[in-house]
Structure 1
Amino acid sequence: MSVSSSTDIFQRDVKDHWYVNYEEVDFPAIQKGWVLPPGRWYDFDPFILMAEDWFKRGTFSDHPHRGFQTITYVIDGRLEHIDNAGGRDILEPGDVQYMNAGWAARHAEEGVDEDIAHTLQLWLNLPKTLKQTETSYQNVYAEEAQSVSIEGGRIKVFSGETAGVKGPLKSIVPITLAEISLSEGAEYVHTLPENHNAFVYALSGDVELSNSRVSLKKHGVATLTFDKEGNEKNNSELKIKSNSRRTRLLVYSGAPINEEVVPYGPFVMNTMEEIKQAYRDFRDGKFGPPAI
């Protein structure tokens, strides 16, 4: 399957791009880098941040969340999910977990046995009207996401609809997530809702993005232009050309919320008073028992 671009729909360009800086952290954590660094949530709206972590068991033990969602992609190692509603499972490379923290999540994310878990975790904001929704989790295993052959590669669709298929991830706000693998010289036009803010992360390889031919190599991040007045039902296009025999990209997009954002610790709310209330509720036991 190949996809040709059309000049009558919005053409994505690269707005900004950078490479992730990594630092060693205290054991049992090992290394961390900010794919989407904290503090730029208005630029990234609806995304708050994205961290790339290498860690062993004990790094992310029992902890609370409120007011946002997470999308965790396992790059390597095994990740054990534990929540205080009785959920427990192990995710392996290529698997994705979606969590709607809603009003009160309490969970743990652990490396398995002696594994070093290597993950990407994206924090995705919730609009004010959904911050008190029920907590939920969904595991999307690599084999459950439909994989579509394209000229010179494949695209795996975890969320949203593109390349003629719909991903299994069921977010309570509109998002897309696709993994694109391309061989050297392959060109592909990826479609996204024109009103979605979007970014690209290079897991491996070397690509050129958009008509500007901005180069992006492994550990590179690019944010994309979008039509702020656009329609969710209309597609936009991102042109991608691989200059490496093993290029692998993740492309994320979401509809901006355009609300006040107050991220603090493990909570993302609209005001500091709501943050203080979240801490009071946690101390008062309203988040339930520990996740063990």
Structure 2
Amino acid sequence: MSEERFVRSVKNQWTVQYEEMPFPAIQKGWILPVDQWKDFDPFILMAEDWFKKGTFTDHPHRGFQTVTYVVDGRLEHIDNGGGRDILEPGDVQYMNAGSAARHAEDGVEDDIAHTLQLWLNLPQDKRDTERSYQNVYSEDAPVVLFQGGSLKVFSGSIAGVEGPLKSVVPFTLSEIHLSEDSDYTLNLPENHNAFMYVLSGALNVGEEESSLQKHDVATLTYREDGKSSNDSELKLSSNHRRTKVLVYSGEPIKEEIVPYGPFVMNSMDEIKEAFRDFHAGKFGPPAE
């Protein structure tokens, strides 16, 4: 006899609070605050930023992955391995910082870039992997249509399609559009910790129909002792003519970490070593 499919509910929810930043940065909000990483595992933090050229110039990273979604404006990515590209609204960039990455992420010309950047943990045995980057353009992510909306899959296997993003640590990222009075049930692996962020509109979420609207974040219940091969259900119901949400999920890594500055390691000694290596030139030349 098959086990009953797990139906998710909203565990916690909050509205992102924003603060003005010194120019050329403009505004910042914490979708996932860094001090709660144990609750978000394998996710560490997620920032929402508005900024102009000159804000995120050359800087290093080690020990984790980033997933950057462009909401508006243009974002130029430059890395010291020779990579350079411009991402536009709806595009996603993935970086595995691994043992040492050095890059810049900046606005283009006079644009105000509006981005969501997620930090995704690496298990200890993968922190020394080689750095890598992947751009996923909006039009290259497969779309599944349903009555009253659509599902776009950037990463992971959802609704019978596979997203093009290939990360060191598997995770799912989907973008869901819903028109007014439309419903959709999203299937996610039951053992994945998951959260969602509302980019526009309003909707009811989960078994208990928790109400969310623009700028709201929700973490979701999951089956901690479950299997990645078993699906769970997340019920979504829009009550706005133009609702757009992002849903992220991943299997918890369950390791103690130390996020500090641009690095994420397993101890403060490793953080100090990362700073020494950067200042000794072991991260390579600047990204410019």
Q: Secondary structure at the match of 2:34?
A: coil
- Correspondence 1:26-41 to 2 at 5 A: 26-41=22-37
Confirm whether residue 237 of structure 1 aligns to residue 233 of structure 2: yes
* Residue 10 (str. 1) matches residue 6 (str. 2): yes
- Structure 1 partner of 2:86: 90
Matched to 2:39, the amino acid is: D
Give the superposed CA RMSD. Answer: 1.0
- CA offset at residue 164 of structure 1? 1.3
Which residue of 1 is the match for residue 176 of structure 2? 180
Structure 1 gaps, min length 5: 1-5
Distance 1:247 1:263 in 2: 33
1:239 is aligned with what amino acid? K
State the distance in 1 between where 2:170 and 2:82 align. Answer: 28
2-structure distance, mates of 1:129, 1:257: 11
Task: Tell me the equivalent position of 1:254.
Answer: 250
1:23 alignment partner in structure 2: 19
Q: Could you list the per-position Cα deviations for residues 208-261 of structure 1 after superposition, in whole angstroms to 9, with x for gaps in the alignment?
A: 001211000000000001111111111111000000000000000011000011
Does the alignment pair 1:133 with 2:129? Answer: yes
SS of alignment partner, residue 279 of structure 1 = helix
Give the equivalent residue in structure 2 for 1:153. Answer: 149
Counterpart Cα distance in 2 of 1:113 and 1:137: 23
Q: Deviations over 1:43-70 (max 9, x none)?
A: 0000010000000011000000000000
Matches of 1:8 and 1:168, distance apart in 2: 30
1:208 is matched with which residue? 204
Distance in 1 (CA, whole Å) between partners of 2:222 and 2:30 is 23
Query: Does 1:285 find its partner at 2:281?
Result: yes
- Counterpart secondary structure, 1:8: coil
Measure, in 1, the Cα distance between the counterparts of 2:139 and 2:104.
Answer: 24
Distance in 2 between residues matched to 1:271 and 1:82, nearest whole Å: 29
Structure 1 residue ranges (4+ consecutive) displaced by more than 3 angstroms after TM superposition: none
Identity value in percent: 69
CA distance in 1, matches of 2:146, 2:93: 26
Superposed displacement of residue 8, structure 1 = 2.3
Offset from partner CA, 1:116-150 (integer Å, 9 cap, x none): 00000000000000000000000000000001101
Cα gap change, 1:155 to 1:7, in 2 (>3 Å): farther
Q: State whether structure 2 residue 80 is matched by structure 1 residue 80.
A: no
Q: Give distance in 2, aligned partners of 1:152 and 1:243.
A: 12
Q: Distance in 2 between matches of 1:251 and 1:7?
A: 25
Give the 5 Å matches for 1:99-118.
Answer: 99-118=95-114
Question: Which 5+ residue runs of structure 2 have no aligned equivalent?
Answer: none
State the partner residue of 1:267: 263
Alignment partners' CA distance in 2, 1:151 and 1:129: 44
Superposed CA deviations along residues 143-174 of structure 1, whole A, max 9, x for unmatched, are: 00001101110000000111111100001112
Provide the rounded CA distance (Å) in 1 between the counterparts of 2:76 and 2:142. Answer: 24
- When residues 260 and 7 of structure 1 are mapped into structure 2, their CA distance, relative to the original with a 3 A threshold, is closer
